[in-house]
Every structure is written in structure tokens, then in C-alpha cells.
Structure 1
Amino acid sequence: MEPNGRLLWVYAMTVLANISGQNETTMTTTGFKTDVCSNITDLKGVCDSSGAWTPQQVAQVLLTIRTVSDRLHQQQLQECRGAEPHQCPEAEVPANGGLVCATVNNRRLCKSLCNQGYDFHFIKRSRPYEECSQATGYRWTSYYVGGNQLAACHNSSLQVGGKPTMYFQQDCLTAKSSVALQNVVFDDFSADVGAKISGTLTEKCLVCG
């Protein structure tokens, strides 16, 4: 099927508009916003060209989309950095899932979630989140010893390793793209934490693998 240049250009400009609406402090760091927008606008010449695309033009579009996707992914991974307590290492975000984190009483807590079609390697129902704090020696509690990996999500037709609230309704990016769906993730996390720890959750974030 021949690629639809006009539809792709509309899509690219929609992404550009969404980027422009993001928090300026976050999205302009080290020229990030400028670089991404430049990559997207570079597609205009290809999308406005007449006739069927050449194999080189198709490759150019795919390469641009991949570049933009990679840059956006790396940027959103930074959204949990710098939280208290600063002594805690950055927790690894599971591929095929995401990580929701918050700080309460100077304790950094992170909960792993898997996308639909994926499940945890270990049973985590009784342990929905992990902790890094002075009490843990500023290391993450985890089934994975000696590192910052909190969970792994593997292909599975069944989701039995965690509670229902440990899985995204669809996937992490879909949840993150909707304020309402993201708030569901935050609310579920607050309920998990509140069952054992009293205090206000601050520095909340959601990052996708």
C-alpha cells in the first residue's frame, strides 16, 4: 500500500503540537524541543512531494519517525530523576511496562506495571512496590539482587503475577497520554502505599519502558 503523505504530515504535526504544549522547563532541556521539532518539520518536503514515494523517501520517513521516537523515549525516562532522597539510584524501567514512583517521608517508592499481554517473572501480589530509603541503605528492595531492576515483564496470555492494579488497561504510553488514565495509575499507587505507610505522596511520576 502506498504511504499517505498527507495523513503522515497531519500525524507529524499533531506530535509537534503536543510537544509544543508540554512543560517548557522539561521539554527544552539541551535543545530537546528544537531538535525534535526540526526532525518532524524535515518531513514536510517528503510529504508534499507529488506521486508515489521512492524507496529512499519511505526509508527517510521511517528513519525520522524512529529518531523522534527514540528522542521522546529518552526524554520521558528522565521525568523521575532528581527526586528525594537523592542518595537512591535510579530504578530501571521494565520493558513492555512502566514504573510509577513517589516519595513519602523521605522514602522513595516505585511500583512496576506490565502492559496487557505481559506478566511478571515473580509473584508480586503481596509486594506491589519497592523501596529505597535510609532504612534500606539507599538500595532498592527487589527480587533481583545487586542492581536497580525492580521487575521484568514477559509475554504471557495470563496475568497472574500481580494484582489487577499492577497492569495497564492497555499499555503504559496509552495511560500516560491520558490525564484520566494516568490519574487512575496514581490513585491505585496511592492506595497501595496508604495501606502500609501514612503520609503525603510527593514527586510522583510515571515513566514507560
Structure 2
Amino acid sequence: MARWEPGARERLVVAAVDLFAEQGYDATTVAQIAERAGVTKSTFFRHFPDKRELLVAGQETLRTLLAGGIADAPAGASPLEAVAAGLQRASDTMGPMNRELGPRLKAAVATSAELQERDALKSVSLAEAMTTALTARGVPGPTAALAGELGVLAFKRGYAAWSESDAPGGLAPYTSAALDELRAASASLG
């Protein structure tokens, strides 16, 4: 086993997603994930405390990117313009591996109620990060919460469309288009 080969964390995530999709979350063991990734079990545990944490790998980075983009938006930006800046910053960090994992991750999450719960908690966490960043800009609480929720929905919709598309390019245009669609939809609510 290639114990010291670079990229172990990423290989573990890919191996787990593939195994979860192939045989289900409950039937997949840490030993199988480590073997598929070409690392030892101790290497697995250096990166993750358990297999549940594999699907939220990078969540704290994503929270930081979204909140940082909102904080750095121009002073006169509306709440949704600030959210767009956060989405842009987060989207710019997503590369081919993120795109490739999208459909497989969706299939893996569909195999387990526990993974669906973790995915929902991830959404709550991202919305909270955006809401907090917006309130720090002086946006009133209810408006900040709504904009944060729209930001999460735009990110998820944009990511799904991007990962299912064969068109070249990054995630940013997809999250931007999703936010625009949601903005228009919310305006029609009356």
C-alpha cells in the first residue's frame, strides 16, 4: 500500500463515495475504503474520525469561502449581491474532481437515511454561515436568513446542474444562474 503518496484525503473521499454508491453506506467498512484508496486504516483515521465525516469533508472550507465572499462584497451590495459574491468565491475553488463527484455523491447520499441527514445538516450549516456574514454587514435578521437560505439553494441547484453538464467551464456561472432564477421566483411570490 502506498502509505505516503500525496492526495490520500482526496482518494479516500472518492473511494468512499464510490463504495457508498456501489454497495450502500451501511455495507461499506473503513477497511474497504482504505483499501480502495490505496492507504492503510491508520491513514484513514489520520484524516477522518469515522466514515460519516467523509461526506462533509471540506464543509468548513466551504463555509469560510461563502462567508468571506459575503464579507468582502462591496459596501453598497444588496443582501443577494453579497450572497452572489460568496457563491462566486466558493465556486471558483471547485475543480474537475468536485464536478466528477457530484452525480456519484448524489447516488451515495440516496442510499442512506444517515447520509441524507448529514447532507441536510450541511445545508443548515452553510445557511448559518451566510446568515451570520450578512448580519455582520448590517442586514436585518429575517432578511439575512432568507438570503442565506436562497444562497444554499442556489449553490445546491447550481452544483447539481454543473455536475450533470458536459459543457466546459466552472461552477460559478451555474450558481449565478441558479441565484438569478431564485431571485425571480421570489419576486413572483407577491
Question: TM-score when scaled to structure 2?
Answer: 0.29
Q: Kindly indicate which of the two structures has a greater share of residues assigned to strand.
A: 1
